[in-house]
Amino acid sequence: MGEEKELRVRRIKNGTVIDHITAGQALNVIKILGLPDASEGVVSILLNSPGEHGKKDVVKIENRELKVTEVDRIALIAPNATINIIRNFNVSQKKKVHIPEFMEGVIRCINPNCISNSNEPITSKFNVTVDDDMPKLRCTYCGRVISENIAKHLL
Ligand SMILES: Nc1ncnc2c1ncn2[C@@H]1O[C@H](COP(=O)(O)OP(=O)(O)OP(=O)(O)O)[C@@H](O)[C@H]1O
Ligand SMILES: [Mg+2]
Ligand SMILES: [Zn+2]
C-alpha cells in the first residue's frame, strides 16, 4: 500500500486496434486472425473492458492490417466491432465492420446430412440476415438456420 504505480500497455506505432468487440469474443477474433503466430508482432488482448455501452473486448495487433475475409468473419461474431488502422501512433482510419449478406466457405452447416458436409467438392454457402443485432445464417443447400454460437462453426 502507499506506493502508487501505473502500468500501461505501450501504444502501437503501426497496426490495427479492433475495438468494441462483443465481450467474450476476443479469443475467437484471435483464432480468426490465425494468432498466436510467433513470427508476428505484439498482440494485446483486453477482456471485459468497461465501455460506453457496457463491457467490451479489445484486440491490438502491431504491424498488421486485416484482410477483407478476416473482417467479414469478425463481423459475424462481433457485429459492433470497429477496425482502427494505426499509423505513426494515430488512428488513421476507422471502419465499422459490416455483416456480409452472403458467405461462402466460412461456416460449416450444422446439418450433418447437408450436401455441403458430404464428400462432394461443395463449398458451404449461407445467406445472412440480421435479427436484433444477431446474425442469422441460412444454408442455401438445406435451409438449416444457424443463429447461436456462430464462432463454433467457423471453418
Ligand atoms: N497508438 C495506439 N496504440 C494503441 N491503441 C490505440 C492507439 N490509438 C488509439 N488506440 C485505441 O484505438 C481505439 C480507437 O481510438 P479512438 O481515439 O478513435 O477512440 P474513440 O474516440 O473512443 O473511438 P470510438 O468512438 O470508436 O470508440 C481506442 O480503443 C484507443 O484506445
Ligand atoms: Mg471509444
Ligand atoms: Zn446445409
- Mean pLDDT estimate for the chain: 94
Asked whether the beta carbons of 98 and 75 are under 8 A apart, the reply is yes
H or E element, residue 78 = none
Distance CA 128, CA 99 (A): 8
Say whether both 131 and 70 belong to one domain.
no
Domain with 58 in it: 15-96
Say whether both 28 and 65 belong to one domain.
yes
Q: Of the candidates 49, 78, 96, which is a domain's last residue? A: 96
Q: Of the candidates 75, 96, 117, which is a domain's last residue? A: 96
Percent pLDDT > 70 in the chain is: 98
Say whether both 122 and 52 belong to one domain.
no
Domain count along the chain? 2
**Could you tell which of 13, 19, 57 is best to mutate to test the pocket of ligand 1, judged by most ligand atoms within 8 Å of the CB?**
19
149: exposed, middle or buried (C-beta count within 10 Å: 0-12, 13-18, 19+)? Answer: exposed
- What is the DSSP pairing of strand 134-139 with strand 145-146? antiparallel
> What is the average per-residue pLDDT within 139-150?
96
Say whether both 57 and 92 belong to one domain.
yes
Say whether both 134 and 116 belong to one domain.
yes
pLDDT of residue 1: 52
Q: If you measure from the C-alpha of residue 31 to the centroid of ligand 1, how many angstroms do you get, rounded to a whole number?
A: 22
How sure is the predictor about 10, in pLDDT bands with cuts at 50, 70 and 90?
confident
Q: Is residue 57 part of a domain?
A: yes
pLDDT of residue 4: 73
Ligand 1 binding residues, C-beta < 6 A:
11-12, 17, 19, 58, 60, 82, 84, 86, 89, 91, 94
pLDDT of residue 9: 78
Q: Of the candidates 96, 117, 141, which is a domain's last residue? A: 96
pLDDT of residue 126: 98
Distances (CA, A) of 35 to 29, 39, 74, 77, 153: 9, 10, 14, 16, 18
Res. 6: pLDDT tops 80 = no
Q: Is residue 116 part of a domain?
A: yes
Say whether both 38 and 74 belong to one domain.
yes
Say whether both 19 and 92 belong to one domain.
yes
Where does 1-155 have alpha helices with state H? Answer: 26-32, 68-77
Say whether both 23 and 38 belong to one domain.
yes
More confident of the two residues 68 and 3:
68
